[in-house]
Structures are given as structure tokens and as C-alpha cells.
Amino acid sequence: MSPEAQVEEALCVAALNVPDPLVRAQFLERACAGDARLRAAVEALLEAEGEAESFFARGRAVVNGPELDAQAAELLRQAAGMATDDFTDEQLGSRVGRYRLLQKIGEGGCGTVYLAEQAEPVRRQVALKVIKLGMDTKSVIARFEAERQALAMMDHPNIARVLDAGATETGRPFFVMELVRGTRITQYCNEQNFDTERRLKLFIKVCHAIQHAHQKSVIHRDIKPSNILVTLQDGEPVPKVIDFGIAKATEGRLTDTTLLTSVEQFVGTPAYMSPEQADNTGMDVDTRSDIYSLGVLLYELLTGRTPFDTKMLMQSGMDAMRRTLREQEPQLPSTMITSMRRTELTLTAGQRHAEPPKLISQLIGDLDWIVMKALDKDRNRRYETANGLAMDIQRFLDNEPVVARPPSQAYRLKKLVRRNKLTFIAGAAVAVALLIGLGLSTWLFLRERASNEREARLRAAAEDRAKITQAVMFVSQGKFEEADGVLNQVNNFPADPTLDCASAFRSVGEWLALQGRWPQASERYAALIKVDQLDNPSQIIFDYQACGVVLAASGDRPDYDRFWQQAVTNFDSMPNGSILLAGLLLPLDKAQIERLKPMAAATEKLIHAIPKNRQSEWTLMPIGLWQYRRGNDGAAVQWCQRAREQSLRFPPCDAVVDATLAMAYYHQGQTNEAGSELVQARQLVDAKFKSGLDRGRAGAGFWFDWVYARQLVREAGARINCDAARSESK
């Protein structure tokens, strides 16, 4: 192919990705840069595109196996020299496996659903879904069989069980399900003019069903209104989740709105697809993907629309669609309602038994944030479990404070940075893919084994997640003892923990520390700094400080040293007074002093860069203690006195300064000065602990600042009194 032709083709393909004719024209204008011949050639290709498309679409029967229709089948019959007959549907009255087809009850893009009768072992009516798309029936069934055990363990009033799977005589896969005669949940709520509260109550039941499945390590993967049917039992609406296990068996290619374009194969129902599903890496879908889809469902129940419009998603083309799902923040539900046209707004509100202003005010705030938390692009920030989501909604209904919160500025910024990292991750993924390709055969061999192990791992992880969610709930209700009990049972910390998870460990750890239960508190804190990678940096630094204090207070020096090692490794030569302080809490050996030098030097350097009027006692104090620890008593005294001169002073810091000075003076032989400093420090600390320690706050000092001060006062006291006692005894 000539280079010219290559350029023409490349431009043509690129232009086809731009659906808007105006934008496309602009693109060509710029790309061809006045080369009229090139422009004409590309235009000619583009012009033929539409007709070529429909020409081949007419042959799609042959083009795409999945869409093979009667005519293609006929051709093959001819090949076999046989007569033609109808191909499209299973015959009513005919048998499929053990089932007799009675009536067609539904038809979607993916398959046809029949009412069928099972004669053995019990006579009952079931729903039988025959999959239309041409798929490798054997592997569909094999995948179903793999999950069959897990599916069989599901037993929940809101789940319609999948009973059986097999192949029809024509080689299409079919699934047999508990028969549910119901209306899709969104439609039901609209028809009944359910108000927001009733919708939420119905939705909570759906969450419980999904939670049940997750605990049996079954992920639905295709949650959407048409898979959640509402039936009436004793006059009560009961939602039933159908199609469990089918999405996995058919590798997620099974949806009502399958999108089939010439360039791309199947895509799910894009509006309900989680960003990680849309990303199409396929490997990496877990229970939190279902949480996202539940979020979309909730969004639609509340506003009547999905966060992203299905039509727009489909029209924008595949790459743009992925990008939207991956990067674009959906509108808040309340904003979505507000932006509707008058007629739609009135209709939507009416279906929710409310006036528009009332509906909007219901959504603003808590419900907005609950939905957005479920819809977070980063699954680590979503609800940990479906139960967590349900409980937050329940709290909203009970007028209790909810867990979901609006994202902070710092978080938004961090996400921006993270988004740009994706480019690099994509590059790494390609490299990984290449490596996998090299070891393909080994991989195929290992895949089977890995998938079993993965199941077990997923199940254990799901259990741990459930426990953490429970702990989060207990914490929010102030039941710390219970939360502590549940956290104690967590076997493995989640590989990618959520903010909720971190805050549960923090709250419980803090609660234990305030009661002086140091060994237990240190366990929680040691876990916290392992799982806490998402919070804003200042929170993480506080956690390190608290952790150091708690470990020292529990009196376990090896544990403190391990923590010390981790803190110094993580922060290395970063200037950070707080981390430095945490590392100076106990006397250090020579190697540790050496190791801490870069951080201390950086911190000292930073102090010079801070304007004098922004410096505080806390800014200078760590260097004072650092100089003392390394044996520079003179410098220690100087820094401590400078710290004291600051106008911004804090009671616990005063005590730390006093205690440090006491030790430095004592070391220099100024026993009297040492004594009076020690008395001062001790008075401050004693008074605080007598009045009772509380969580505290920034400025006045946190509980761990005070425990820190007490630790140093004890050290100074031990040093000075002990020597005094010894000299007396002489």
C-alpha cells in the first residue's frame, strides 16, 4: 500500500470517530492542511462509508456469527442439500432438556424468555431463557457450572434462583430460573406513584439481596431495572433480583441493549456499567462493581434518569464512552432534577408523589451524597458493601447522620493527579500483556487453578469487608465496644481499603486509647497506618503521631521500633515536624539517630523558609528534642527557648518543651534549672489528666499530644529523680 493511501485511510478512520459533522469538517480542514487532493480522497472514502456499512450490514447475517439469521442458516441447509424451514424461535410445546415450553413471555436483545414446565423431579413452572447470541455454548455452560455451587447456596426471598443451564438441541445455551411474574422496579414505582421514602425502602431490600449474594461470593455484574422485578406478595411489593450468574456465564455480553457496531463487538448496558467494567480489562470486577450499578439504580429511582444518558453514551462512540464512565463526574441527583425541563420535572415529581420543590429539597444533601458515594469512580471510595449502602439509606430515613460526605477540595485535587497517572498505568498494562503473551501456555494451565484460589480469596475478602462495614456502622452509632469486637475478627486487611475502613480503625483506636487500653489501641493503630493511604496527608500524619504515642504508651519497644522503621522509611528525608516528633518519643540508639538525620535536616531547613509570623511553638519544638536526643544539649536548650518565645503556643507543647529543657539542663549539670522545668511540665500534664482526657482538637491539642507530653515528663522524671535518689543513697 502506498504511503498516500495509508495517510488517507488513517485520516478516514480518525474522522469516523468524530460523529458531529461540523467538528469532523474542522478536523479534516486542519488535518489536510490545504492538501486538496488528500482532502478529496478522504472525503470520498468517508462518503462511501455509510453505504458500505449498510451493504455489509445486509450481509451481517453472515458477517457476525451472533446475528446469523434464517437466510444464512438456509444457505447452510442448502449446502447439506436439505429443505429449508423456520429457524428463528423454539417451538412452543417442544421440549428443551427436561422442560416443555408453554408460552413466550418476553423477548430482549439477548434472548427469549419462555414460560416452561418442569415435570421432574417436581412438576412446576419455571422461566426458561434461551440465549440468542451466537456464543460458544460449551464454554457458557462450563462457566455456569463453575459457579453453580455458589449459586445453589443463595437462598434469599429477594433473589430469583437460577436453577439449571444447558444447551438446546440447536446448540444455544439456555438458563432455567425461578418464575417471577413482575414489573421492572422503576416502572412499578412510577406506576404506583411511590414517593421517595417508599422507593428507598424497596431499594434497601434490593441491597440486602445483593449483599446476600456477595457473601456467597456471587457477583451479579448486570444489575439494572429489567433484572429487578417487583411482585406483590400479600399486597406487599417484593423486589426479586433475577439473572444471577448469567452475566458471568456469558461473560457479560448479555444485555437487553447490546450495542453492535461494525467496529466494536458487544458492550453491556452502558448506563449501568461501572467504570472498571467499561474499561474492558475484564479481569478486575469485584463486588464493588455491583455497588456502582446499585448506585445507578438508586439514581434512576430518585430522578427518573440514569447518571449518564444511554443514548448519548452509545452515540459518542466506544472510546468516548469509556472515557465518560471513567472520568466524568455525574451530576448530583438534585442538580439533575433541577436541570430538567418543566414538563419532565412535573412528571418526574408527580410520579414521586411530590411537588418539584419538595422533591428537590428531599434530594439535596444526604441523598445526593449517598448516591455519589455509591457512584464513585474509585471503588475504594464507594460503600464497602451493599449492606453499607442500605444502612446509610436507613439512617437517612431515620433522620440520623449518614456516612456519605461531599468530597473535600484536597480529594478533588488528588483525583486530578491520579487521572493523569492513568496514562502511565496503561503503558505498564501493555508491557504486562506482552509478558503474559510470552507465557501464554503456562498461563492457560495456571488459569484454572488461579480461578479457584481467586474464588476462595474473594469469599474471604467479602467476609472481611462485611465485618468492616459492620464496624463502620457500630462506630456511627457510638457502639465502640461492638466495633472493636468485629474489627478483632478481621483476618486480612483489604488490599485496597476504603476511607470508611480507615476511619473505623481510627475511631476504635482512639476510643481504646482514651480509656488507656494501650495494647488494644496499638493493634488498631498499627492496622490503621497500614490501611490508611487515601486520606488527606494531614490526617495521615496525625495517625502516625497517634500511633507512635499509643505504641510507646503500651510499653512495647519492639513494636514501637517497627513502627519507627516504617515511619522513617515512608517519610525518609521529607521535612515533617510531626513525624520527626513521633520518631523522637523514646530514646534512640546511634543507628537510629543516623537514620533520622535527613528528616531532621530537612525539617530544620524548612523552618527557615517559614515566615516568622507563621511559625509556632510546634514548628520549632521538634528540632529542640532532636538536638537533645543526639546529645547537643546546648543546641537543644537554644531551640526550646526559641520555641517558648513564639506567640503561638499550645499547652501540651509547653509541657514537651519544659520536659526537654529539664533533661537537657540536667545533662549539662544545671540540676536546679532541670528541677524547676520538670515541676512545671509535670503540673501541666497532671492537671490535664486530672480533668480528664478528651479527643481534643487542633490548636488546643489532641489527646495524643497530651499523652506524648506525659511520656516525656515520665522520661525526664525517671532520669532526674533516679539520679537524685542514687546520689542521696551515696
- Cβ-contact 46, 18 below 8 angstroms: no
We find the least distance from the C-beta atom of residue 512 to another protein, in angstroms, to be 53
314 in contact with another protein (CB under 8 A): no
The residue among 262 and 452 lying less far from another protein, judged by its C-beta, is 262
The residue among 80 and 122 lying less far from another protein, judged by its C-beta, is 80
Cα–Cα dist 243/222, whole Å: 8
We find the least distance from the C-beta atom of residue 80 to another protein, in angstroms, to be 4
Mark residues 253-292: x for contact with another protein by CB under 8 A, - for none.
Answer: ---------xxxx---------------------------
What count of Cα atoms within 13 Å lies in the side-chain half-sphere of residue 305? Answer: 23
Contacting another protein (CB under 8 A), which of 31, 43, 87, 519? 87
Contacting another protein (CB under 8 A), which of 18, 38, 73, 340? 73
We find the least distance from the C-beta atom of residue 477 to another protein, in angstroms, to be 50
Contacting another protein (CB under 8 A), which of 157, 171, 478, 537? 171
Report 44-63 residues binding another protein (CB under 8 A): 44-45, 48-49, 51-53, 55-56, 58-59, 61-63
User: Which residue shows C-alpha cell 521535612?
Assistant: 575
The residue among 433 and 456 lying less far from another protein, judged by its C-beta, is 433
The window from 88-96, 456-464, 510-518, 702-710 that contacts another protein (CB under 8 A) reads 88-96
Cell of residue 602, nine digits: 530537612
16 in contact with another protein (CB under 8 A): yes
Cell of residue 555, nine digits: 510499653
We find the least distance from the C-beta atom of residue 231 to another protein, in angstroms, to be 33
User: Which residue shows C-alpha cell 495517510?
Assistant: 7
Cell of residue 4, nine digits: 498516500
We find the least distance from the C-beta atom of residue 218 to another protein, in angstroms, to be 24
Which residue in 630, 617, 621, 629 sits closest to 603, CA to CA? 621
Q: Quote the Cα angle for 458-460-461, to 5°.
A: 60
What are 103's strand-pairing partners? Answer: 115
We find the least distance from the C-beta atom of residue 222 to another protein, in angstroms, to be 20
The residue among 88 and 647 lying less far from another protein, judged by its C-beta, is 88
Cα–Cα dist 329/375, whole Å: 9
Give phi and psi for 161, each to the nearest 5.
Answer: -80, 145
436 in contact with another protein (CB under 8 A): no
488 in contact with another protein (CB under 8 A): no
448 in contact with another protein (CB under 8 A): no
> HEC profile for 94-123?
CEECCEEEEEEEEECCCEEEEEEEECCCCC
User: Which residue shows C-alpha cell 475478627?
Assistant: 489
The residue among 253 and 517 lying less far from another protein, judged by its C-beta, is 253
- Cβ-contact 499, 381 below 8 angstroms: yes
We find the least distance from the C-beta atom of residue 265 to another protein, in angstroms, to be 6
Contacting another protein (CB under 8 A), which of 172, 224, 379, 630? 172
The residue among 72 and 655 lying less far from another protein, judged by its C-beta, is 72
The residue among 65 and 157 lying less far from another protein, judged by its C-beta, is 65
Cα–Cα dist 223/242, whole Å: 9
Give phi and psi for 129, each to the nearest 5.
Answer: -110, 120
251 in contact with another protein (CB under 8 A): no
581 in contact with another protein (CB under 8 A): no
Look up 572 and say whether it is catalytic: no
We find the least distance from the C-beta atom of residue 39 to another protein, in angstroms, to be 16
CA separation, residue 299 to residues 134, 453, 573 (Å)? 33, 35, 46
Cell of residue 191, nine digits: 406506576
The window from 169-177, 242-250, 377-385, 616-624 that contacts another protein (CB under 8 A) reads 169-177
We find the least distance from the C-beta atom of residue 315 to another protein, in angstroms, to be 17
We find the least distance from the C-beta atom of residue 606 to another protein, in angstroms, to be 48
Q: Which of 20, 222, 500, 723 is catalytic?
A: 222
435 in contact with another protein (CB under 8 A): no
704: Cβ–Cβ under 8 A, 6 or more apart, which residues?
Answer: 513, 542, 545, 546, 549, 550
The residue among 51 and 236 lying less far from another protein, judged by its C-beta, is 51
Cell of residue 691, nine digits: 480533668
Cα–Cα dist 524/504, whole Å: 9
Cα–Cα dist 461/288, whole Å: 12
We find the least distance from the C-beta atom of residue 64 to another protein, in angstroms, to be 6
Give phi and psi for 95, each to the nearest 5.
Answer: -105, 140
Contacting another protein (CB under 8 A), which of 22, 283, 428, 440? 440
155 in contact with another protein (CB under 8 A): no
- Cβ-contact 366, 396 below 8 angstroms: yes
Contacting another protein (CB under 8 A), which of 36, 91, 342, 727? 91
80 in contact with another protein (CB under 8 A): yes
434 in contact with another protein (CB under 8 A): no
- Element holding 442 (H helix, E strand): helix 440-476
The residue among 58 and 419 lying less far from another protein, judged by its C-beta, is 58
Report 115-154 residues binding another protein (CB under 8 A): 134, 136-139, 142
What are 231's strand-pairing partners? Answer: 238
719 in contact with another protein (CB under 8 A): no
| One-letter identity of residue 456 | A
Cα–Cα dist 76/80, whole Å: 6
Q: Quote the Cα angle for 291-292-294, to 5°.
A: 65
Asked whether the bond before 121 is cis by omega within 30 degrees of 0, the reply is yes
606 in contact with another protein (CB under 8 A): no
- Count of residues in contact with another protein, rule CB under 8 A: 57
The residue among 56 and 107 lying less far from another protein, judged by its C-beta, is 56
451 in contact with another protein (CB under 8 A): no
Which residue in 260, 221, 265 sits closest to 243, CA to CA? 221
| Helix axes 537-553 and 703-729, enclosed angle (nearest 10) | 30
What's the DSSP call for residue 159?
B
| Sites of contact with another protein (CB under 8 A) | 1, 9, 12-13, 16, 44-45, 48-49, 51-53, 55-56, 58-59, 61-66, 68, 71-73, 75-82, 85-88, 91, 94, 134, 136-139, 142, 169-172, 262-265, 440-441, 444
Active site residues: 222
